[in-house]
Structures are given as C-alpha cells and as structure tokens.
Amino acid sequence: MTNPVPPPQKPPAPSQNNGWSFHLVSLFGIPVQIHITFLVLIIWIALQGSPSKTEPALFRLLFVLSVFTCVLLHELGHSLVAKRHGIQTRSITLTPIGGVALLETMPRPREELFIALAGPLVNVAIAILIYVGGLIAHLPMKFPITEAPNSLPTFMTYLFVINVILALFNLLPVFPMDGGRVFRSVLAHFMSDVQATVIAVRVGQFLAALLGVYAFLTGQWMLMVLAVFVYMAGGQESNAFQTKELASGHTAREAMMREFHTLNTGDSLRKAADMLLAGSQHDFPVMSGNSVAGILTRSALMRGYAQEGGEAYVAEFMNRDYLVVPPDMALEEAIVQVQGVTNDPILVMEQGAGGEPVLMGLLTQENLLEFLKLRQLQDIRSNRPERY
C-alpha cells in the first residue's frame, strides 16, 4: 500500500532577499549581497571633506572597501569550511555592522568548532600577511596610530589593527558570535547540546550586560546598542535551539490537539461565541460537509462580532488559507513551517480510506508550547541518559 499521507501545503518560501539587499557577485557559488545601508555609508564617506582635497576622501573610501573585503573573506572562511562539512551557504550579506553568512542548516554544536573558528582565523591570516608584507617591502607599521590612513604605511597599519580587532572581537565568548559558538562546541563535548547552548548563552549574556554597563558609564552609545543587540540575539538563538532540540524525534501527531469541536459554514457567529465561552478551544475548523472549508480564529470571531453581530455566518469570517501537515511529519519541520508565517493553528490531516482528507487534529501554539514544556520536564527528570 502506498503512503496514505497527503503532501503538506507549502507555506511561502522565506524570501532569499529581504528587499534591502542587492546582489553584488557570486563567489564559490555563494551569492554575495550588499545591504543598502552599506551603500549609503560609502556615499556618505565619499561626500566627506572638501572637493579640493579629494585624496583623504579617496583613502577613506578605499579603507572602508578594504575593511569590508576583510569582512567578506571572514564570512567566506565560515562558508568554505561549512561546505567541507556538507553544509551549503544560502547567502552572504554585508552590512555596515559586519557580515552574515546564512547557512542552509545549522551544524551540530560539536561539529561547529571549525566552522566558527574559520572566520576569525581568516582575519589572523590577513593580519600576518600585512605584517610580513610590510617587513619585506620595508614599509614598517607606525604605532601608535596618530594620523588618518592617508599614506600606504598608515593605511596598512590601520588594516592590520582592524583585522586583529575583528579576530579578537568575534572570538569573545558571547553567543551567537563566533567565540560563543566555539565555547558551546567545546562545552558540547562534556554535556548535552541543549545544556551547552544554555550555558554559552548565559555566559555571553553576562558579558554583554557587563559591556552594556561599561558603555553606559562611559557614554559610548554605539557600544551600548551592540551590547543590547548581542544580549537579545543570544536569548533568541537559545530559545530557537531548545525548541528544535525538544521537538526532534517527535511527530505532529504526538503534539496535536486531538479533542476539538468544529463548526459548519452555515453556523452563526453566536454559536461560535457560545462554543468559545463553553470550552478552552480558541480556534475552530469550519466544515463544509465532510471537508474543511477554513478556520475561524478567536480574533476573526471577535472582529466579525464587532462588524456584523452574532447573526452573521462563520463562513464570512473564517480564514480560508490554512496550513495542513500530515500526522507523521517531523514536529521540528512542522514548527519551521509555521514560524514567522502564521499564528493560526495548523490542521493535521490524513488521507482516509476513500482517498479523502480526514481532519485528525489541530496543532496550536498553546498545545505546542505545552508539549515542548512537558518534553523539557521529562528531559530534566531523565537527564538525557541516551547522550552519555
């Protein structure tokens, strides 16, 4: 017998281009994009200084381009090592605050060590090249830096320092920066991936908080913004990772709501309101005969009530675009399908004996959170003996 599972309805694929980035070039098959704010920065730098003295402006421009070439090489370092581990890079985007290499899949924390190290090591290599190149060409670096990068020696000195800073800054053990990933990778050899992530994130957030206090006391606002950004990014990464881990190995069937009520297209909003009040269900599948016609969510019900009162039909306010997944779909995958797409419940449907889709359950945000919470409690109790 063939697999009786209907294919899942695909949500719109996440856009590769967020609309603010432009394709620049493809390197090693990886599209390199440039964020519009970076172009603005270049134009701004070019416009600095008086027209009679174009040379400093030209050096500044050249300097910014050189720095971003170094950032690009840093990201390529991550991408090429990831490729050796069988992970493709979807894109590299350059922004004024740095670069981002978007990998197709996240490597396991333990495999991540070399991918995370590759970026900063590229900057170390560039710094060494500049230093050795300067010695060979008898262009010694000038320390301390007192003038702008308007001559070749000062230019190279600046570039050397920038690369050392890029390497050191990215190696700070602050998740999700490279150093935080290296730290997690090392921790993951001694504990579970989730525990390693939690500890790496906490240490990173503690350091980010210290940095934030320091920035506040010294009035360095850019640094403060960065500290807040790193703090929040760490928390988000940690949550996303925990969700993924807790869901892995489970199916949509296990987490779905199995006992639920349905409405018919001819039912009134008043009936829907009664059902909403009578139970704890917020969203109702709306049936037309034996097939699903849509979902009436709580917010749609409220909106309908406000606009037309209780006598209006549910069919008028139900959402006809709903996501369907088969019961045996990996829960991880089902979560990825909804994330950022909809807050409505997903319908879990299976093909019946006659080939018609049969509604098996609802995957709501609430149910999903409860399921993951229970998994977490179970994990804490059993302390994940399967890992070590």
Please report how close the Cβ of residue 119 comes to Zn ion at its closest, in angstroms. 3
Side-chain-facing half-sphere of 166: CA atoms under 13 Å: 29
Q: How far is the CB of 170 from Zn ion (least distance, A)?
A: 5
- In whole angstroms, how close is the CB of 187 to Zn ion at the nearest point? 19
In the complex with Zn ion, which residue's Cβ is closer, 68 or 371? 68
User: What distance in Å separates the CA atoms of residue 173 and residue 187, rounded to the nearest whole number?
Assistant: 12
The dihedral formed by the CA atoms of 60, 65, 66 and 72, expressed in degrees to the nearest 10 = 150
* Residue with the shortest CB distance to Zn ion: 119
- The nearer residue to Zn ion, 91 or 243, going by C-beta atoms, is 91
Q: Which is nearer to Zn ion, 112 or 267 (CB)?
A: 112
Task: Give min distance, CB of 175 to Zn ion, in A.
Answer: 12
Full DSSP string of 100-155: EEEESSPPPGGGHHHHHHHHHHHHHHHHHHHHHHHHHTT----SS--S-S-SHHHH
Question: 260: helix, coil or strand?
Answer: coil
Interaction site with Zn ion (CB under 5 A): 119, 170, 178
Which C-beta is closer to Zn ion: that of 178 or that of 245?
178
Which of 122, 67, 127, 118 minimizes the C-alpha distance to 89?
118
Which residues touch 296 (CB under 8 Å, ≥6 apart)? 263, 272, 283, 284, 286, 314, 317, 318, 319
Which one, 60 or 74, has the nearer CB to Zn ion? 74
The sign of the CA dihedral 296, 301, 305, 309 is: positive
Of 71 and 215, CB closest to Zn ion = 71
* Contacts made by residues 21-26, CB under 8 angstroms, sequence distance 24+: 21/93, 24/94
Shortest CB 52 distance to Zn ion, Å: 40
- Alpha-carbon distance 250 to 368, whole Å? 12
Question: How many CB atoms lie under 10 A from the CB of residue 174?
Answer: 27
Q: Between residues 92 and 256, which has the closer beta carbon with respect to Zn ion?
A: 92
Torsions phi, psi for 220 (to 5 deg) = -95, 95
CB of 94 to Zn ion, least distance (A): 13
Sheet holding 324-325, edge to edge: 324-325, 346-351, 357-363
How many C-beta neighbours within 10 Å does residue 289 have? 8
* Cβ distance to Zn ion smaller for residue 162 or 296: 162
- Cα torsion 157, 159, 160, 166: sign: positive
Least separation in angstroms between CB 176 and Zn ion: 10
Query: Do 103 and 82 form a contact (C-beta atoms < 8 A)?
Result: yes
Longest dimension (CA), the chain: 88
- Which residue lies nearer to Zn ion by CB, 31 or 119? 119
Least distance CB 177 / Zn ion (angstroms): 7
